[in-house]
Amino acid sequence: MKNRLSKIIKPKDGRTVMLAVDHGYFMGPTTGLEQLDKMVLPLMPYADTLMLTRGALRNYIPPETDIPIVLRVSGGTSILNDELLHEGITVSMEDAVRLNVSGVAFSIMVGAKFERDTLLAFTEIVDEAESLGIPVIAVTAVGKDMVRDARYMALASRIAAELGAHIVKTYYVEGFEKVVESCPVPVVIAGGKKTDEMTALRTAHDAIQAGAVGVDMGRNIFQAKDPVAMIQAINMVVHENATPAEAFQSMIRDRSGRYSRR
């Protein structure tokens, strides 16, 4: 378990840049990921782990690729369904082991009328993953009718940890320190919908300063104007304590096409 956790959260600084490209499991061909390999392969040198589905791993990522995999093991509803995120188990832990993953990710939906289904399925995964020494990342999804504030995120994160999550993935909100302080396991933030690059860098920075160990970011990287430059800038914020302005500056290319930082 500790060995696998160290593949996700880097022991050198206790931080992580997780690249999330699992969106297709409920959003189909998400903008930027239509040809997932073309987008993702150039980003991988700057990611600590890759979070994706079994089908994406099989079809787009060469087996020789040397990057720790966090496998999404929940799903079952699409963006066309009113009960979005009413998810169950979509991958057996036997297959997760066969795929040699470093962790698995499962979405829970605290506060939804079907929360019980997602929480109980989550604990099934935790039980199996514990016996195999595989860390489980709880993805605390937020329904469209739920208030996205520190009180709710702290509630969902703490429940996830109490039920056995090894890492909690949540959203950055004002007062994020409260979320981190009351969660006994490491917290990473999702990026959420695409915003401008500076805002995304500031969110990552503020989350790290509030105690998050890193990001599990997707759209704000692969939908950025320059995804390779953006993931490098995120890397600077997470691993080098760069300010948002310093990281943003690093994305500006000179006339030869080189980034200003190098």
Report, as residue numbers or ranges, the catalytic residues. Answer: 169
Binding of residue 23 to ligand R5P (CB under 6 A) = yes
Exactly one of 32, 103, 218, 227 binds ligand R5P (CB under 6 A); that residue is: 218
Work out how close the CB of 184 gets to ligand R5P at its nearest, in angstroms, rounded to a whole number. Answer: 22
Taking residue 203's Cβ as centre, other Cβ atoms within 10 Å add up to 24
Closer residue to ligand R5P in complex, CB, 33/93: 33
Residue with smaller CB distance to ligand R5P, 139 or 210: 139
Of 174-182, 210-218, 233-241, 244-252, the segment contacting ligand R5P by CB under 6 A is 210-218
| Only segment of 54-62, 151-159, 184-192, 248-256 that touches ligand R5P (CB under 6 A) | 184-192
Write the binding mask 42 to 71 for ligand R5P: x where contact by CB under 6 A, - elsewhere.
---------x--------------------
Task: Considering the complex, state which of residue 157 and residue 220 has its C-beta at the smaller distance from ligand R5P.
Answer: 220
Residues engaged in binding ligand R5P (CB under 6 A): 20, 22-23, 51, 107, 139, 141, 190-192, 216-220
